[in-house]
Amino acid sequence: MKQIKGPGIFLAQFASDEAPFNDLNSICEWASSIGFKGIQMPSWDKRLFNLELAAESDDYCQEVTGTLASHGLELTELSTHLQGQLVASHPAYDTMFDGFADESVRNNPAARTEWAINQMHLAAKASGRFGLKSHASFSGALLWQTFYPWPQRPAGLVEAGFKELAKRWKPILNSFDEAGCDVCYELHPGEDLHDGITFEMFLKEVDNHPRANILYDPSHFILQQLDYLAFIDIYHERIKAFHVKDAEFRPSGKMGVYGGYQPWINRPGRFRSLGDGQIDFKGIFSKMTANDFDGWAVMEWECCMKHPEDGAREGAKFISDHLIRPTDKAFDDFAGSGADDELNRSILGLK
């Protein structure tokens, strides 16, 4: 068995215009001081990182890794969640998703899509320069507004949507293949890839591309009421990245999975700081370790109650406490009788 690395932290929810969260050096100093060992980098946040420069300059990449190393940190993955969302976006969401893009392509959906696809190719180049093996992203969505089959979906609509999604992602996946890096889609409501079945539908359309893989985040599964432990058993060969994020689901006589348009604090399904929700992380870390996952356990903090700095401090310890050092021997070795072919044949009643 292999050992999971950690704890890591996804910086997206922590970056701000206030110190120590407004530049890479100071945010790394903070993360290290509370126990983190790895950084998952939001590639769109210019306060921390320049994706265009990283795609073209080894010197810049060495500067970034040097800054992290000076605080005892490693780069776990780059993230293109915002850009990946815009690789495929239905017009119904144009206004709400426009803020994810560079100002130069806002209010221009075609240019925005082209920009997003180019960003993904840049991320592949940058990942290659850093020597990263995994990359975190979203798939985007052409079909999400039809997730509930009313009005009735026309025959062939879903198939057409996945074919187009695959058409856009295949060249990107090829770029990541050239860089030696997996694209790990975070399966998430709002994305066309949001559960195991939709991932399988996409995988079929990209011809089982070896770089099309999964970022496992159980919080999105408990909110869908999906068996997040069985998911590991089924898809462990494609799980190449891991967000450690807690959540809870407490339905009532008034609300269920859809949440009644309520704010997060009032929804039956809501994200919580690590240890405050319902997710069985002992079970998850056990299954991930048993299946030889040796990537990073990265905390993604999203909680509608707790202060983020408290969540981060507690989260680093939570992950550290759940990491399993694999055994190098069987617990019952003391009772073993050694290897002896003649003895084995005798026990089996064979001459």
What pLDDT sits at residue 74?
98
Q: Is the dihedral of CA 193, 198, 200, 205 positive or negative?
A: negative
| CA atoms of 209 and 66, how far apart (whole Å) | 33
The encoded tokens of residue 50 equal 């320049």
pLDDT digits (tens, 9 = 90+) for 250-274: 999 999 999 999 999 999 999 999 9
DSSP assignment of 252-300 equals: -SS--TTGGG--GGG-SEEEE-TTSSS--HHHHHHHHHHTT--SEEEE-
Domain spans of the chain, in order of start: 5-347
SS3 242: strand
Per-residue pLDDT band for 330 (boundaries 50, 70, 90) equals confident
> What superfamily does domain 5-347 belong to in CATH?
Divalent-metal-dependent TIM barrel enzymes (3.20.20.150)
Predicted model pTM: 0.96
What pLDDT sits at residue 331?
78
pLDDT digits (tens, 9 = 90+) for 107-145: 999 999 999 999 999 999 999 999 999 999 999 999 999
pLDDT digits (tens, 9 = 90+) for 214-241: 999 999 999 999 999 999 999 999 999 9
pLDDT digits (tens, 9 = 90+) for 166-209: 999 999 999 999 999 999 999 999 999 999 999 999 999 999 99
